A and B are shown apart, each in its own frame.
Chain A
């Protein structure tokens, strides 16, 4: 396979001018994020139309803004720790990378924990997926569907983070190749960004 390796060398050279410096995985992740953003758009559009056309309780009255605001803060912080993990990887600081990845995982888990607690509390107050004791049941349905869909993304992100953490601990990224971590970072920042929109539309407005 002597010519195969020379081919690979050839591709190394050619791939860059053809589509810039992004790796194939990174490009695919960006396309996937567009896809995923559109699925959130589908839900948010449905939410917007329903809310605009009917009686809608004011969210602040029934949802715990303070608690969720705190959860938002945690999620934003975990985005920061993700960046720091990549930064440590770049500068070949193995322990720093592992620590910051752990902090990111902890942030995600903590967010999920708050969400579970919030759901339990709300169900207790008469707000389930299909019913709402104080008004339009669609208020409850849209809330659970959209935050639940986002929660699934956080869960996916946490599992993804744990996988990459294991790779990192095995020493795969010790050479400073942060490409895979960057792709993971893209997903994690996306989940974070979407939450800021969801939080604004569902809780604050």
Chain B
């Protein structure tokens, strides 16, 4: 029944069909990578503007301030501040992390790692990118509207996000952009899930797949199930804004009838909680693989890691209520959601212990992908632990909507995913572009990211615990918060430092694209399928579809006679020591 799938397609010849509307998963992956990196830059600049305002309120933003805010002498005005944190969140989550981790790595790694010639539906894949592109344009267009972009927070809670809270067209465009993005994500998700199920090379069972593919696959499943719920939510919100309905409008603000603002929070978090796992699962998968690759040891409990990631995905669907403890939920519900939330720590602890077990007594190679992976282990550990405070009703009532929450989700979603994404870029860059990245610059980039990153996000945990609320333009109008100014300045200086060190990454990336050392087929000595073919791979990836005979993490077997310390997945498994 596979007629037409996994065949060798002729190579495109024109510029247009090769780079623009390409059906090739490798080109689409690169398109998503560029798209994500550009948005990462925009979102990062917004973060700096926010941080500057919080550390030096009332002072002009250096260098760019006068250009961006000529009417307020370079100072970020309060309404722009609200737009900045809204757009920072939206851009980072939907337009930076999603395209890089899911769009780029998903497209690049899934077919190569499972031994396929392309995705199951190459045209759908192409459409998925261009829908995302259109969505990005709509979102960016909202920045130049007379009343500005959306300013109700990335969660866009009503009543802030209705016509009463945000009268401009920015919020409407936000809804349209998110809907388009949902369409793109759904197309991608259907494609990924089908590809993993149907196009695995002969002999490759589900547990022979690299854990990267597991992470991406689970992400795609969650995406397929939960993005449409957000789609329904933003359609209702758009109707409220454009057609005069009152789904989310209540009380005095509504002209007639009465809706329910909290309803949006339900719909949003039914999507939103799985979404945080959608974002982190690819990074977990990548890190699980890289820790084994660079410890030169089989991944400790690889099957348990895969199953516990699955368990987290399942549990993530029924815990969304912990985002809403302060919405006067019945205590019975809050207790149930708290218990379910705490259950997630069991599978999380399993794969975290497996990560440490993989490192244990390994002959660790501290190449840049490994440094970034170890960084993920550290920051995800911290982020996960702070989650316990927020999942518990009693402490959450105090910490809700403070910078503690901001610190927590930046540790888990921003720091872990960013470091995981960098690990992936440094690791697959040779395969993607056929050249090595500069290792010295990569290591400087790592330490220049890792140290300030902890300054920023640990600082956020501290000021949050000290009582500083998120989303306040100038928290220091409150006397009780004035003592937090020095920590806020420390956070901001760390943020500027971290931003500066990202320039090293950009230089390294661009320089290596053209001038980097030519990459061998298998620079990291790893046995997964993508390293058996040339770097970069030919158009149809595999001349002959490989036959898989062993798992992805066969390292350090003393009985190996090949002179290598690892096995390719295409080699018959050599029995280890008895």
A interface residue numbers (CB < 8 A to B): 1, 3-4, 7-8, 10-12, 14-16, 18-19, 21-24, 27-28, 31-32, 34-36, 38-43, 45-46, 49-50, 53-54, 129-132, 136-138, 141-142, 145, 149, 179
Q: How far is the CA of A36 from the CA of B8 in the complex (A)?
A: 32
Residues of A within 8 A of B190 (CB): 28, 31-32, 35
A39 to chain B, nearest CB (A): 4
Residues of A within 8 A of B256 (CB): 131, 137
> Besides the contacts A27-B197, A50-B259, what 8 more A-B pairs have beta carbons closer than 8 Å?
A19-B198, A28-B121, A36-B228, A39-B232, A46-B233, A129-B245, A137-B245, A145-B235
Cross-chain pairs A/B with CB under 8 angstroms, 26 sampled: A1-B8, A12-B1, A21-B1, A24-B1, A24-B194, A24-B198, A27-B194, A27-B197, A31-B190, A31-B193, A31-B194, A35-B227, A38-B226, A39-B228, A41-B229, A42-B230, A45-B266, A45-B270, A46-B232, A49-B263, A49-B266, A50-B263, A129-B243, A137-B245, A141-B239, A149-B235
Residues of B within 8 A of A15 (CB): 1-2, 198
Q: How far is the CA of A32 from the CA of B95 in the complex (A)?
A: 23
Given A10-B202, A27-B197, CB of A137 within 8 Å of CB of B1? no
Q: Are B1 and A42 in contact (CB under 8 A)?
A: no
Complex partner residue of A27 from B3, B198, B258, CB under 8 angstroms: B198
Residues of A within 8 A of B191 (CB): 28
Complex partner residue of B545 from A11, A18, A50, A130, CB under 8 angstroms: A11
Q: How far is the CA of A39 from the CA of B227 in the complex (A)?
A: 8
B: contact size bracket: 35 or more
Q: How far is the CA of A167 from the CA of B549 in the complex (A)?
A: 42
Closest to A43 in B: B232
**B 1-43 contacts with A by CB, 8 A:** 1-3, 5-8
Answer whether residue B231 sits at the interface, using C-beta atoms and an 8 A cutoff. Answer: yes
Residues of A within 8 A of B235 (CB): 145, 149
Q: How far is the CA of A54 from the CA of B1 in the complex (A)?
A: 52
Answer whether residue B244 sits at the interface, using C-beta atoms and an 8 A cutoff. Answer: yes
Q: Are B236 and A145 in contact (CB under 8 A)?
A: yes
Complex partner residue of A7 from B121, B198, B259, B544, CB under 8 angstroms: B544
A45 to chain B, nearest CB (A): 7
Complex partner residue of A28 from B8, B194, B202, B244, CB under 8 angstroms: B194
Answer whether residue B225 sits at the interface, using C-beta atoms and an 8 A cutoff. Answer: yes
Closest to B543 in A: A3
Answer whether residue B531 sits at the interface, using C-beta atoms and an 8 A cutoff. Answer: no
B interface residue numbers (CB < 8 A to A): 1-3, 5-8, 120-121, 186, 189-191, 193-194, 197-198, 200, 202, 224-233, 235-236, 239, 243-247, 256-260, 263, 266-267, 270, 544-545
Residues of A within 8 A of B545 (CB): 7, 10-11
Residues of A within 8 A of B6 (CB): 11
Closest to A138 in B: B257
A179 to chain B, nearest CB (A): 7
Q: How far is the CA of A38 from the CA of B270 in the complex (A)?
A: 11
Closest to B256 in A: A137
Given A7-B544, A11-B6, A54-B258, CB of A46 within 8 Å of CB of B231? no
Complex partner residue of B224 from A34, A53, A129, CB under 8 angstroms: A34
A46 to chain B, nearest CB (A): 6
Closest to A15 in B: B2
Residues of A within 8 A of B202 (CB): 10, 14, 18
Given A8-B7, A24-B120, A129-B243, CB of A35 within 8 Å of CB of B189? yes
Q: Are A130 and B197 in contact (CB under 8 A)?
A: no
Q: How far is the CA of A54 from the CA of B246 in the complex (A)?
A: 13
Residues of A within 8 A of B228 (CB): 35-36, 38-39, 42
Residues of B within 8 A of A24 (CB): 1-2, 5, 120, 194, 198
Interchain residue pairs A-B with the least CB separation, the first 4: A42-B232, A39-B228, A137-B257, A130-B244
B160 to chain A, nearest CB (A): 19
Residues of A within 8 A of B244 (CB): 129-131
